[in-house]
Structure 1
Amino acid sequence: MKKLIILILILFFALSNIPNVYAVENKPEISGPTAVLMEFSNGQVLYDKNMHKRMYPASTTKTLTAIIAIQKGNLDDIVTVNDDVTKIDGNSMYLVPGEQLTLRQLLYAMLLESDNDAAVAIADHIGGNIKDFAEMMNRKAKEIGAKDSHFVNPNGLPDNNHYSTPYDMALIARYAMQNDIFRQIVSTVHYQIPPTNKYNKIRDLWISNKLIKPTNFHYDGADGVKTGYTVVAKQVLIASATRNAHRLISVIMGDEGTNIWSDTIKLLNYGFDNFNLVKKNDNNEIITYATIGKVNFKVPLIAKEPFYYIVKKGEENNIKSEIVLNKQLKTPIEKGSALGYIKYSLNGSEIGRVPLLSGENVYKNLMGTYYNKDRSIVLNSNDNIINYLKFISGLLILFIAIAIWRKKRIRSKGNYIFSKD
């Protein structure tokens, strides 16, 4: 019985942490079997169609390959291509063993034109070999939160053990799009690779993302992310678009036709037309002050992180905040220690919390004076003056009491001696 209760509690908390999936009347119809629309700033889910179903990611895999390479490597590193590139099918920039390019050039080839041999060269350079790089991919995926994915190669070529879900790929894309270098590459329309030691011509690379380049599917604000296709995976697309500082990420996997572009536009329009992003506080913003002690010394409380939340249009003012402080605030207080939190709610339901951190080191000496860690700044001077006066008054009273006591003692001793004679 006890184990059953614990299991129920675990399920309750797990379900309470699932991102909100909003229901709006004009929810779009998507022809693909699986899709998701995610808010970039906090990962809220705005649209879900079988978003946790395992699918083949095809070349969208290269999103994860790229962010690992950017984080682990130096973009100006010279990569010497080995024999692995001759064993790869599909899109290719026709690398040859012994050819030398920079890691940056290979990243552009992999992300713009989806060259599979470029992905292999990157994996060999960063991981030593494909198998070890795949292990890096799986560790990184788990770190990001993509827990229902498994990767065995850096390019997404078919393999029964190489799979992901729309939700996981959205998490990976959201993580990658936080990197300036990655964002720059996936939004570049054209890039040139000069002749190398093995290839005497310029390689012109053109982006495959029809939302970004001039096509009938060009989408205002589109800024990423990655296309993909294999016979078994079918059409796969991760898209990103930003309007008025509001970025959305959509993922469609397993689309059999050519509707993936128009369906992606439907998803993005659905997000921008029906929802607004609300920012409630900034990072390191002073939210309020906590009072300590009888003198009500004020400690600035700073938001640990910004809080964003996306709401249906018209509900922007329905988000309410409540400040909750720890029950007892006593010195010493270290700068950056959590003293409470802001609780945000929407229509009566809690939607998030932001820790409130102390903006100052606070200590108190024997005189009741508050000061910072290096004692160079005496805090709250008005209260300190009062504390000093109280301390001095206390000393005077103590000295007077001692003087009176000594005087009485001397008199008592004198009387005793006189009576003895």
Structure 2
Amino acid sequence: MRKEEKRKEKGTAGPLIIWKRIAVFLLIFGLAITGVPGRQNLIAEVQAEEGEPQNLYAQSAVLMDADSGRILFSKNGQTERANASTTKIMTCILALEYGSMDDVMTVSDHAASQPKVHLGVASGQTFYLRDLLYSLMLESHNDSAVIIAENIGKSVEGFADMMNAKARELGCSHTYFITPNGLDAADDNGIHHTTAEDLGRIMKYCIMDSPRKDMFLEITRTANYQFTDCSGKNSYSCTNHNAFLQMMDGALSGKTGFTADAGYCYVGALRRDDRTFIVALLACGWPNNKSYKWADAKALMNYGLENYEYRSLWQDIDPGSIKVKNGINKEKPFDMETEISLTVMGEDKDWKMLLKDNEQAEVTWDKEESLEAPVTKGQKVGEVKYSLNGEILRTYDISTSSGIREKTFEWYLKTIFSMYFIGAD
């Protein structure tokens, strides 16, 4: 394919952003390795000029556009860390997808032995899955997670296999689950862990893409819930510990977590107007810094709300036509070349994405120089690529709008015969 690369750019914001970030990186790197007095203040000033959140408590943090899955801000977003009870969002969504809310689940000795925070069940008790899911997500009960895992996955190990398979399906290549509750654990393959970016992807699936997303949201937004075991003899009460639901207008869902290895963790979502943001925080302080995660979550959500708006990305492209060698042209039957028009397939004039004011998608396209007949209608001859800051967002095929038959020896004979014999007086 000979590349005839053409571009339609609205300004030069994209390349400028790339060069600006390179300059910022070089400046920060230079300041970091030199003895410039007050270099930390200078670094902070550079970050402030970029407009990105500063001085976050979390060692890993991500802000994601929940619609596209695009990472809008990342601090050590791909660093693998223990993630505590934020694990339970995966446990919950798998239980919703593979179980029925009225399924009866029996408590094993192993489930009953789980440490606090726990529901406090006894071996042999039975519960409905519906009730265990509220226990899991509102109070973060560790025993409820194991009951669910053992009844749906046949064992904790079997359920962990399901969790890891789903993580791979979602593109979470730096995640490894061992337990359904997120308690610190290790085996021959490593420790129980994820990354802030992967955790954001899992939350995106739970609230945007899963066929059970509505029930996930209903459970995680419930303030209080009461239930009994299947016998009706024992009563339980749950209160939602996701304080972020009352902190910002539009707070949608979330899950807290804490272990000695993980520190305080949080993953949450907010929807305001037509924008939905996800925040994932790992290692966001240790006792007595329980409130750090709320400060970071608000800072990142406000950054998203203040800086990102939906803007149209679609640009009309006229790919023109393409020469076809040895193709039949009834008007000029003996010309060696003819042309057919091209079209961009699957146009999406309503395509929008959350962008900053100074962000602009770049559109490039290339196509074949010529084709040999025969050519079929809809035959791919090139591509249109949309990219943002060097990352390809979408590609669209450039295809032929009609087909054309090949000139064969038989065609020449018939054409000549028709022209000089049948058409003669």
Map 1:14-413 to 2 at 5 A.
24-25=50-51, 27-160=53-186, 161-178=191-208, 179=210, 180-181=213-214, 183-185=216-218, 187-190=220-223, 192=225, 194-200=227-233, 203-212=236-245, 214=246, 218-254=247-283, 255-256=285-286, 257=289, 258-281=291-314, 291=321, 294=338, 296=340, 299=343, 301-303=345-347, 309-312=353-356, 314-315=357-358, 318-328=360-370, 333=376, 339-345=381-387, 350-357=390-397, 364=404, 396-397=418-419, 399-400=421-422
Shift in Å, 1:119: 1.1
3-state SS, counterpart of residue 235 of structure 1: strand
Change (3 A) 1:332 1:128: farther
Shift in Å, 1:153: 0.6
CA distance in 1, matches of 2:344, 2:160: 47
Larger Rg: 1
CA distance in 1, matches of 2:227, 2:279: 34
Shift in Å, 1:173: 1.9
CA distance in 2, matches of 1:273, 1:202: 45
Shift in Å, 1:295: 6.2
- Matched residues, percent identical? 26
3-state SS, counterpart of residue 137 of structure 1: helix
CA distance in 1, matches of 2:168, 2:227: 37
The TM-score with structure 1 as length reference comes to 0.69
Cα deviation, 1:393-419, whole Å, max 9, x if unaligned, reads: 877426427x89xxxxxxxxxxxxxxx
- Aligned-residue RMSD, C-alpha: 4.0
Change (3 A) 1:355 1:35: closer
Shift in Å, 1:237: 0.7
Unaligned runs of 5+ residues in structure 2 are 1-17, 26-46, 325-337
Cα deviation, 1:126-160, whole Å, max 9, x if unaligned, reads: 21100121122223323323323322110011224
Shift in Å, 1:345: 4.8
Q: Identify which range, 149-158 or 351-360, moves more after superposition.
A: 351-360
Letter in 2 for 1:400: I
CA distance in 1, matches of 2:161, 2:309: 39
CA distance in 1, matches of 2:124, 2:380: 55
Shift in Å, 1:228: 0.7
3-state SS, counterpart of residue 243 of structure 2: coil
The TM-score with structure 2 as length reference comes to 0.69
CA distance in 2, matches of 1:118, 1:150: 21
Letter in 2 for 1:163: H
3-state SS, counterpart of residue 42 of structure 1: coil
3-state SS, counterpart of residue 211 of structure 1: helix
Cα deviation, 1:167-203, whole Å, max 9, x if unaligned, reads: 3222222232222236423542236454442343554
CA distance in 1, matches of 2:349, 2:93: 24
Letter in 1 for 2:358: E
Cα deviation, 1:346-398, whole Å, max 9, x if unaligned, reads: 5xx54424232479996556799xxxxxxxxxxxxxxxxxxxxxx99877426
3-state SS, counterpart of residue 36 of structure 1: strand
Q: Name which structure has the greater RCO, CA cutoff 8 Å, separation 6+.
A: 2
